[in-house]
C-alpha cells in the first residue's frame, strides 16, 4: 500500500550529479539531501527539487517530521539534525538577565504585519478586499502546491480574520513578535495588543511554567528517564539497521535478487524498486524475514510506523494490507560465504517505532478517505429524496465564534457556508449585540440592499427541531428582515428552493484545463496525432488489419494517477522507407506531459521498436493484444474503433438543403444530428474527448463499465466495505471510461449518489454511441440524396408538424400550462413546435394494449442527445449490466403527469435552452401505488405498472378523455392533503414492458430561465 504523497523527501544522495536548487552547487554522493516535491511538467507524478541540508531550511519549513517522506529511514543523528531545525522555528527561547527572568520573544519568520500597500489583495479567510492603508497580517505560505512550485510567499488577512484563525494558523507567539510590528503607529500597536494575545500573557505563562519546573516532580522525572531510555534504544536500532544496510549495498543486484528467491518470494512479488529491496533486506537481517502477505503474497516493507504490503491484490489494485509486527523467521542465505561475511546470527527483535508517527498515521488512510467521501457525497441532488433540513441552501456568518465551529453546524444541517454576499444566500447568522456593533461597511450595505434576513444563532437550534419549518425558524430567530414581511420570506424560500432543485442544469463542466484545439487529419480512416506535427506528411502504418496506433491509460485512485500514453508508427507519404515512431505521455486533461519522435529507415526496426514499447507499458505482446490481459501497474488500452472510413463531422445547414420536408422537420433533424451538442454532453460528464473521441465509443466497453459500476454498488452494500476490491473496481471503471479530472485526484466512488451520477453518464454514452452509429451509417445511401432526407430516413419514423390551430396542439398547450409545478419556477416553457410521431412498427406492437381501460398520455424528458436513439428505437429500459442504484422503483421506463418534472431531465441551461419532450400513450393498467422508494424487480401478476404517489398532482376533475379513450391528466396542480409526507413531490408512472408504450408526440420547447432576483 502506498503512503500519501508527502510534500518533502529526505535521503542520502545516490550520486554526485544532482544540484541544489538554492545555491546551484552540486550535492555530493552519500550526503543527506532534502527535497520539496512538485508536480512535474513532463510526466504524471511528483518530482523532487533537491537541496543541501542547510539550503533547504532557508526556503522551506515543514510543520513536523511527519511531512518528510523517508525520515524514519535516516540515520538517527540525521533525524536529530532535522528535529533541531524544526524546533528552532517553533519553540520560544528563555534566558536570564540579571535578577529577572525574561522571555526572549522570537520574531517569527512566518508572520508579518504592515499597512496594506494597495487594495488589490484579498483576505484569505473571508475573501473580501483589504483596503489600502488598512492593517493586514500575513503568514508565509511555504507548503501549498503553489509555494512548493514557485517558493514561499505571503498570504494576507484582516486583523479580525487573523484573530479568529490564530490556532489554525499555528500562531503561538505574541503580537509583538510579528515582523513589522515596530513600524506601526503607537495607536495601532495598542489596538493589536488588545485584539491579539499580548507578550505579557506569554511572559506570565512562561514564568509560571518555569516556577513549576523548580518544584521537584517525581512523575516528570520518571517520564524524562523513560524518554531518554527510548531515545537510546531508537539510536541503537538505527545504527544497527544502517550497518546492515551498508553491507547490503556491497552486494550485486543479482545477489540481492537471490535472497528473495531463496526465502520463498515469487518473482512477481519482489519489489520493483532496487532501493526498496536493499532496505527490506537490511530490515530482515536485523529483525528477521517477515512472512509474506496472506492476501497477495507480497513483501511487508517498513513504512513510517508499520509494515505495508508492496504487492498487488489483483491486476487493478495495489494491496492495502498492513501490519505492525509481521511474523518473522530466520533469513536463508543462498551463499555460505555471504553469511560468514555478514556474521549473521538470528536474534528475535521487534522494531521500535517513534510514537509521534504512530499517533499521526494510526488511522488507515484509505478507510478514512472512504468514510469522508461517503459523508460528503451521500446526500443526493435529486429533489425527490430526503436530505438535511437545510440541504441546497447557502448561509453566511458574521460573529465572534470560530469559523470552523460555525461551518460544522451549517454543514451538519445540510447547508453550505459562503462568505461572499449574493442573492442566493438564505440568511446571515450573527448575534444581536455583534450585529448592532458592526459599522455600515460595503458588505452590510449589500446585505441590506439584497434584503437578506439576519438571524441569531438560535436559528441553528430552531431549525434542527423537526416540528419547526425553515420559515418559522427564520421568524423565531429574527434580528432584522429589512423590508421583508412573512409572505415575502415564504416567496424567497420558494425561489431559493427552485435554484437548488435544478442546479444540475447549470453545471458548467469540470473547470479543468482542456486540450488546445488542433487540426485533426484523417488518413485511411485513422487520425494522425497533431502533436507529432506530421499530419500533413505521414500516415499511420497498417499491415492488413493491424493498425499501429494505440491509446493507453493508467489510473490509480490511491496514488493520484490519471495517466495516458499514446503511440503511433507513421510512414512518410512520399518515401515508403521512412518511418517515425511518435510517443506522447502525460496526465489526462492537463498540459502536463511530453512527446518523443524517433526516425527509422527500416520497417522491421520500426515495428520492433513499436512492439517493444507496447510490451514495456502493458506487459502484453503486440501479437496477443486481441486477448489482452491486464497486469498490475501496467497500462490498459482504450477501446478505439477504427472501422470508419472518415470522421463524421457533418454540419447540416437547413438553408442549403433541397429537401422537400417541412421546414420545422428539417430544423428538428439538424438539431438531433448536431455533433457538437454530443461533444458538449460528454464534456459535462468530465469525460476525456481526446482519449475517447466521439464516434469511437465501443458499446462493449460501455457495457463493461456498467458491470463494473454495478460491482462497485454491490461492494458498497457490504459492511465493512472491502478496501482492496473497491479501489480496484474504481481504477477499472476510470480505465474503461477515461475521465478528465485535471489535477484533482480521481475520486473513490463511495456513495449511492456517485453511483447514480456515473450511471446516468453511462446511459447517455450508450445513447450517444447509438446516435453516432446511426449518423455514421451510410448504407443504402446515394450521392444525390439530400443529407436531411437521408438522416430523416434513418429515424424510421413519420414526423409531422402540427398546426397551432389543431385541437391536439391546443390540448398539449393546456397540458403544459396547467401542470408546470410551482417549485420548478426558475424557468417557463415556450412551445417552438409540436410534432405528431408515428414510429415504424410501434402501433402494431402496442395493439395488444389498445383496449386497456387505463391508458394515459404522459410526459417523458431526456437529454437532446438521447432523442436520436429514442425516436429510432423507442423508449427502452436500462440494460441489465447497469447498477440498480438510482432507480427509485426499479429498472423501467419512467413517466410523469407534470410537464416540468419531466422537463428537468432535459438538462438544458441558459446557453443551451432548447429541449425535447415526448408525450406517449402508456398502458398503465392496474398500478401498484407506492409512497416511498421500493425496488421493483418483477411485478405481481395483478399489476401492470407502478405509480409513485406525489404530494401534488393534476386535478382529476379537469382530466380530459380523448375519443379513443386515452386519459389526459391536464388539470391544474393541487396538493394531496392526505399524503403531504410522501417521498415524491409529484406523481411518477413506471412500466416494465416496453410494449406498453406508444410514442405519439414530440414537443420542441425553449426553456426561458428567469432572473430570480
Q: How many Å apart are CA 240 and CA 256, to the nearest integer?
A: 19
Contact 1012, 918 (CB under 8 A): no
Q: How many Å apart are CA 927 and CA 929, to the nearest integer?
A: 6
Q: Is 72 helix (H, G, I), strand (E, B) or coil?
A: helix
Q: Which backbone phi and psi does 908 adopt, to 5 degrees? A: -85, 180
Q: Is 1006 helix (H, G, I), strand (E, B) or coil?
A: strand
Q: How many Å apart are CA 935 and CA 887, to the nearest integer?
A: 7
Reported as type and span, the H/E element at residue 189 is: helix 186-195
Helices (H), 28-73: 53-59
Query: Angle at Cα 280 formed by Cα 276 and Cα 281, nearest 5°?
Result: 120
Is-cis flag, bond preceding 720, omega within 30? yes
Q: How many Å apart are CA 723 and CA 558, to the nearest integer?
A: 11
Question: Which residues are registered as beta bridge partners of 95?
Answer: 102
Q: Is 218 helix (H, G, I), strand (E, B) or coil?
A: helix
State yes or no: is 921 an active-site residue: no
Contacts for 800 with CB less than 8 Å, ≥ 6 apart:
662, 665, 835, 836, 837, 838
Q: How many Å apart are CA 84 and CA 755, to the nearest integer?
A: 49
DSSP per position, 937-956: SS--TT-SEEEEPEEEEE-G
Q: How many Å apart are CA 678 and CA 866, to the nearest integer?
A: 9
What pairing do the DSSP bridges indicate for beta strands 950-954 and 997-1009? unpaired
Contacts for 481 with CB less than 8 Å, ≥ 6 apart:
451, 453, 454, 489
Query: Could you tell me which of 1001, 666, 999, 668 has the C-alpha nearest to residue 836?
Result: 1001
Dihedral sign for Cα atoms in the order 709, 710, 715, 717: positive
**CB-based burial label for 179 (10 Å; 0-12, 13-18, 19+):** middle
* Cβ count within 10 A of residue 974: 13
Q: How many Å apart are CA 473 and CA 494, to the nearest integer?
A: 15
Q: Is 596 helix (H, G, I), strand (E, B) or coil?
A: strand
Query: What is the end-to-end Cα distance of the chain in Å, rounded?
Result: 51
Query: Could you tell me which of 677, 707, 709 has the C-alpha nearest to residue 694?
Result: 677
Query: Could you tell me which of 68, 67, 48, 51 has the C-alpha nearest to residue 59?
Result: 51
Contact 671, 864 (CB under 8 A): yes
Query: Could you tell me which of 448, 452, 474, 450 has the C-alpha nearest to residue 461?
Result: 474
List 384, 684, 769, 988, catalytic entry:
988
Give, as one character, the DSSP assignment of residue 934: -
Query: Angle at Cα 966 formed by Cα 964 and Cα 970, nearest 5°?
Result: 135
Q: How many Å apart are CA 286 and CA 293, to the nearest integer?
A: 20
Contacts for 963 with CB less than 8 Å, ≥ 6 apart:
none
Question: Can you state the percent helix, strand and coil of the chain, rounding each to 5?
Answer: 40, 20, 40
* Cβ count within 10 A of residue 955: 14
DSSP per position, 598-611: EEES-HHHHHHHHH
Task: State the catalytic residues.
Answer: 988
Amino acid at each position: 500500500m502506498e503512503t500519501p504523497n508527502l510534500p518533502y523527501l529526505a535521503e542520502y544522495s545516490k550520486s554526485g550529479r544532482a544540484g541544489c536548487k538554492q545555491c546551484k552547487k552540486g550535492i555530493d554522493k552519500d550526503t543527506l539531501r532534502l527535497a520539496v516535491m512538485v508536480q512535474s511538467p513532463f510526466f504524471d507524478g511528483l518530482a523532487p527539487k533537491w537541496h543541501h541540508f542547510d539550503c533547504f531550511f532557508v526556503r522551506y519549513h515543514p510543520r513536523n517530521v511527519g511531512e518528510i517522506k523517508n525520515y524514519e529511514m535516516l540515520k538517527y543523528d540525521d533525524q536529530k539534525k532535522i528535529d533541531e531545525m524544526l524546533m528552532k522555528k517553533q519553540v520560544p527561547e528563555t534566558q536570564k538577565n540579571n535578577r529577572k527572568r525574561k522571555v526572549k520573544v522570537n520574531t517569527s519568520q512566518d508572520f508579518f504585519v504592515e499597512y496594506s500597500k494597495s487594495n488589490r489583495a484579498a483576505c484569505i479567510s473571508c475573501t473580501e478586499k483589504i483596503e489600502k492603508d488598512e492593517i493586514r497580517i500575513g503568514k508565509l505560505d511555504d507548503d501549498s502546491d503553489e509555494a512548493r512550485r514557485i517558493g514561499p510567499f505571503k498570504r494576507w488577512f484582516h486583523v479580525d480574520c487573523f484573530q479568529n484563525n490564530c490556532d489554525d494558523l499555528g500562531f503561538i507567539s505574541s503580537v509583538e513578535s510579528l515582523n513589522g510590528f515596530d513600524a506601526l503607529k503607537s495607536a495601532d500597536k495598542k489596538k493589536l495588543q488588545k485584539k491579539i494575545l499580548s507578550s505579557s500573557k506569554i511572559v506570565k505563562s512562561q514564568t509560571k511554567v518555569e516556577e513549576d519546573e523548580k518544584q521537584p516532580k517525581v512523575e516528570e522525572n520518571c517520564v524524562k528517564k523513560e524518554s531518554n531510555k527510548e531515545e537510546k534504544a531508537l539510536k541503537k536500532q538505527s545504527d544497527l539497521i544502517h550497518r546492515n544496510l551498508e553491507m547490503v549495498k556491497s552486494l550485486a543486484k543479482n545477489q540481492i535478487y537471490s535472497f528473495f528467491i531463496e526465502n520463498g518470494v515469487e518473482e512477481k512479488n519482489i519489489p520493483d524498486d532496487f532501493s526498496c529491496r536493499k532496505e527490506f533486506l537490511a530490515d530482515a537481517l536485523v529483525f528477521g524475514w517477515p512472512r509474506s502477505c496472506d492476501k497477495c503474497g507480497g513483501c511487508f516493507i517498513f513504512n513510517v510506523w508499520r509494515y505495508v504490503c508492496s504487492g498487488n491484490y489483483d491486476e487493478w489494485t495495489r494491496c492495502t494490507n498492513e501490519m505492525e509486527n509481521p511474523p518473522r523467521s530466520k533469513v536463508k542465505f543462498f551463499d555460505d560465504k555471504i553469511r560468514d561475511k555478514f556474521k549473521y546470527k538470528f536474534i528475535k527483535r521487534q522494531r521500535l517505532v517513534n510514537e509521534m508517527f504512530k499517533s499521526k498515521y494510526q488511522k488507515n488512510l484509505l478507510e478514512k478517505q472512504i468514510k469522508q467521501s461517503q459523508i460528503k457525497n451521500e446526500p443526493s441532488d435529486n429533489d425527490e429524496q430526503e436530505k438535511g433540513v437545510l440541504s441546497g441552501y447557502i448561509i453566511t456568518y458574521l460573529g465572534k465564534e470560530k469559523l470552523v465551529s460555525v461551518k460544522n453546524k451549517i454543514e451538519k444541517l445540510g447547508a453550505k457556508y459562503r462568505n461572499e454576499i449574493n442573492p442566493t444566500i438564505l440568511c446571515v447568522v450573527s448575534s444581536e449585540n455583534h450585529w448592532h456593533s458592526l459599522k455600515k461597511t460595503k458588505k452590510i450595505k449589500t446585505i441590506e440592499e439584497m434584503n437578506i434576513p439576519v438571524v441569531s444563532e438560535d436559528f441553528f437550534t430552531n431549525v434542527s427541531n423537526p416540528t419547526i419549518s425553515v420559515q418559522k425558524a427564520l421568524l423565531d430567530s429574527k434580528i432584522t428582515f429589512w423590508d421583508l414581511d412573512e409572505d415575502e420570506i415564504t416567496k424567497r424560500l420558494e425561489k431559493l428552493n427552485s435554484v437548488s432543485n435544478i442546479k444540475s442544469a447549470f453545471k458548467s463542466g469540470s473547470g479543468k484545463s482542456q486540450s488546445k484545439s488542433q487540426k485533426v487529419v484523417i488518413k485511411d480512416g485513422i487520425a494522425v496525432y497533431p502533436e507529432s506535427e506530421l499530419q500533413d506528411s505521414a500516415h499511420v502504418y497498417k499491415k492488413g488489419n493491424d493498425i499501429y496506433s494505440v491509446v493507453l491509460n493508467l489510473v490509480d485512485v490511491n496514488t493520484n494517477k490519471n495517466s495516458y500514453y499514446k503511440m503511433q508508427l507513421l510512414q512518410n507519404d512520399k518515401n515508403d522507407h521512412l518511418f517515425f515512431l511518435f510517443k506522447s505521455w502525460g496526465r489526462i486533461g492537463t498540459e502536463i506531459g511530453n512527446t518523443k519522435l524517433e526516425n527509422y529507415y527500416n520497417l522491421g526496426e520500426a515495428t520492433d521498436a513499436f512492439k517493444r514499447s507496447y510490451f514495456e507499458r502493458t506487459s502484453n505482446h503486440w501479437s496477443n493484444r486481441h486477448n489482452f490481459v491486464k497486469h498490475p501497474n501496467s497500462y490498459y488500452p482504450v477501446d478505439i474503433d477504427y472501422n470508419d472510413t472518415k470522421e463524421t463531422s457533418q454540419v447540416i445547414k437547413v438553408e442549403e438543403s433541397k429537401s422537400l420536408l417541412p421546414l420545422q422537420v428539417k430544423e428538428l433533424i439538424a438539431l438531433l444530428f448536431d455533433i457538437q451538442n454530443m461533444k458538449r454532453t460528454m464534456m459535462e460528464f468530465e469525460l476525456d474527448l481526446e482519449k475517447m473521441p466521439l464516434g469511437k465509443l465501443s458499446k462493449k466497453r460501455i457495457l463493461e463499465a456498467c458491470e463494473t459500476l454495478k460491482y462497485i454498488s454491490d461492494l458498497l452494500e457490504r459492511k465493512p466495505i472491502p478496501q482492496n476490491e473497491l479501489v480496484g473496481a474504481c481504477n477499472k471503471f476510470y480505465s474503461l471510461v477515461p475521465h478528465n479530472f485535471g489535477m484533482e485526484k480521481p475520486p473513490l466512488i463511495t456513495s449511492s449518489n456517485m453511483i447514480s451520477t456515473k450511471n446516468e453518464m453511462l446511459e447517455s454514452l450508450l445513447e450517444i454511441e447509438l446516435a453516432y452509429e446511426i449518423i455514421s451509417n451510410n448504407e443504402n445511401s446515394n450521392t444525390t440524396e439530400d443529407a436531411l432526407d437521408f438522416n430523416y430516413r434513418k429515424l424510421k419514423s413519420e414526423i409531422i408538424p402540427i398546426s397551432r390551430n389543431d385541437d391536439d396542439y391546443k390540448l398539449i398547450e393546456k397540458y403544459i400550462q396547467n401542470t408546470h409545478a410551482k417549485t420548478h419556477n426558475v424557468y417557463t416553457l415556450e412551445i417552438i413546435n409540436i410534432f405528431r410521431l408515428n414510429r415504424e412498427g410501434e402501433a402494431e406492437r402496442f395493439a395488444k394494449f389498445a383496449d386497456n381501460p387505463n391508458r394515459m398520455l404522459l410526459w417523458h424528458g431526456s437529454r437532446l442527445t438521447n432523442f436520436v436513439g429514442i425516436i429510432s428505437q423507442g423508449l427502452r429500459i436500462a440494460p441489465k449490466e447497469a447498477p440498480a442504484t438510482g432507480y427509485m422503483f426499479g429498472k423501467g421506463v419512467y413517466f410523469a403527469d407534470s410537464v416540468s418534472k419531466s422537463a428537468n431531465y432535459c438538462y438544458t441551461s441558459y446557453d443551451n435552452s432548447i429541449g425535447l419532450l415526448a408525450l406517449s400513450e402508456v398502458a398503465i393498467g392496474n398500478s401498484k401505488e407506492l409512497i416511498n422508494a421500493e425496488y421493483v424487480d418483477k411485478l405481481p401478476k395483478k399489476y401492470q405498472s407502478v405509480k409513485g404517489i406525489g404530494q401534488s398532482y393534476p386535478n382529476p376533475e379537469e382530466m380530459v378523455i380523448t375519443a379513443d379513450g386515452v386519459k389526459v391528466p391536464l388539470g391544474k396542480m393541487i396538493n394531496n392533503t392526505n399524503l403531504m409526507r410522501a417521498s415524491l413531490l409529484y406523481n411518477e408512472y413506471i412500466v416494465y414492458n416496453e410494449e406498453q408504450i406508444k410514442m405519439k408526440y414530440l414537443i420542441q420547447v425553449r426553456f426561458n430561465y428567469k432572473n430570480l432576483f
